[in-house]
Amino acid sequence: AQSVSQHNHHVILSEAASLELGCNYSYGGTVNLFWYVQYPGQHLQLLLKYFSGDPLVKGIKGFEAEFIKSKFSFNLRKPSVQWSDTAEYFCAVNAKAGTALIFGKGTTLSVSS
């Protein structure tokens, strides 16, 4: 069965620090990969997704993620975080064969100003 692992449960950073959130998945076939963000009290919103092509994907608000197939990873990065990036971040994967979207357990990011 597919699974998604997010390495960090809670990350605390100061403004302007760089961010990298880890995500690994377990599925040997072709996958679609997503990062969603959930701001406090709000619903999930798509940050970025990888479907095919360039493994470096750019999303909204200055976020990017790199798909490394050999490592089954899809890590999220941002060069300089802002206080407004405080949120919970979810990595999600689904196989292109048309199975359900599987979410990681989430990483809470707290950014202090």
Residues that bind other proteins (CB under 8 A): 9, 32, 34, 36, 42-46, 49, 51, 90, 94-106
Q: What are φ and ψ of residue 40, in 5° steps? A: -50, 125
Q: How far is the CB of 73 from other proteins (least distance, A)?
A: 18
Q: Which is nearer to other proteins, 69 or 105 (CB)?
A: 105
Q: Which is nearer to other proteins, 81 or 102 (CB)?
A: 102
Q: How far is the CB of 16 from other proteins (least distance, A)?
A: 29
Q: Which is nearer to other proteins, 25 or 34 (CB)?
A: 34
Q: How far is the CB of 107 from other proteins (least distance, A)?
A: 10
Distance (Å, whole) CA 102 – CA 95: 9
Residue 21's closest CA among 35, 12, 33, 8? 8
Measure Cα distances from 4 to 33, 103, 104, 113 in Å.
10, 6, 5, 31
